[in-house]
Amino acid sequence: MTRLKGTIGILTGGGDVPGLNPAIRAVTIRALREGYRVVGIRRGWEGLVSMTRDKKADNSASYIDLTEEIVNRLVRTGGTFLHTSRTRPSHIPKDNVPDHLKEKYSDSVNDLTSEVIDNLSWLGIQYLIPIGGDDTLSYAAHLQKEGFRCVAIPKTMDNDVPGTDYCIGFSTAVTRVIKLTHDLRTTADSHQRLMVIEVFGRYAGFTALLPTMAGAANRCLIPEHPFCMERLTELLMKDRKANQSSSAVVLVSEGAKTESGEMLFKSNEKDMYGHRKLGGIGDYVSTELKKLSAKHNNNRPIHNVNQRLGYLIRSGDPDALDSIVPMVFGNMALDIILKKRHGRLVSIRKGQYDDVPLDIVTSFKKVVDVDKYYNAERYRPVFKSFEGKSLLVMTSDI
């Protein structure tokens, strides 16, 4: 019987994207064949906060031992079968502290990092592979500094994790935005309307900019540059006039800002990472566009199609790129562990697979370089100087 080399943990945090299950499968199969036990942590960091260190306790909601049979059965599905959450163990509100820890942690906000480390040790986990965006991975970097060995995999359809050109989920998101925008354009064309489509992108506008570059829309609004409604209306009305179908389309990032510099939020409530829930910029643009369009149409407002794509672009099965990249990222994470390295983030840099220090995720914000890639006067991508750029053009942070 082969002696067990150790135990590797894996978790998924933050928003779901297509490609997570292929990454979990890649890690699991490679690790099992290398002689490791693999433990899947359920519900992201929450699973490591809420479990009870008692062999007799039912911790099935917090972790599961992974097998080839389990991961092979679920690899072709979207989302994450391990489930996810937006838990931040270093900032747990009093009401979210698990019942069995309430006497120990009673502050309004509590740091449960010591519980996380103790729970990982109790499970026998020597290395943890967190898969997530900058929020999930910022806590992984914190955990690494506290002495626990982490090797991270970047995922987010916003593609805004520093240190990598590509994050799991981005290709599928862009593909869906392009397809759904083309599909919706048939309605705009049929009714000779303007169309406002809101897509994800809190701080980075890649999911609006790249589809526009691919021809899905006439204009796009991104978080990195404030927009003027009068100017946007003028441009879209010119686009509509130049189109024989008398329609025009604008893609709007959810984090796009008006000239006041303010994002629009649904409420003042914040998650554990300090983010308020965004919502309403597409509705605002749609309402204002209808009113302002009358100035360019003999005082008759142009109706518009207003659609928030939302979860449609993050649901369902992964595309080809989000099936291949997670497989490579998962195997790279195991390569790092087999070399007894840690504190690393697997990445793609200038088109090549690589790894970088994990703490890069907290070093800067990865956003669109407006000077290079966005025509701020015309609200559209810059279509020049592609030589030497990465495959997805403006997604490199170097």
Q: Which residues contact 309 (CB under 8 A, 6 or more apart)?
A: 176, 177, 180, 197, 198, 199, 200
Find, among 353, 382, 356, 359, the residue nearest to 369 by Cα: 382
**Beta strand pairing status for 344-349 and 352-357?**
antiparallel
Given 16, 134, 135, 158, which residue is catalytic?
A: 158
Q: Which residues contact 316 (CB under 8 A, 6 or more apart)?
A: 18, 78, 172, 176
Helix (H, G, I), strand (E, B) or coil at 313: helix
CA distance 349 to 143: 25
CA distance 368 to 224: 7
| Distances, alpha carbon 73 to alpha carbons 69, 224, 286, 318, in Å | 6, 41, 43, 15
Active site residue 111: no
**Amino acid identity for residue 329 in this structure:** F
Which residues partner with 149 through β-bridges?
127
CA distance 197 to 230: 18
CA distance 61 to 39: 13
Cβ(345)–Cβ(154) below 8 Å: yes
Q: For residue 315, how many C-alpha atoms fall within 13 Å in the half-sphere facing its CB? A: 5
Q: Which residues are part of the catalytic machinery?
A: 158
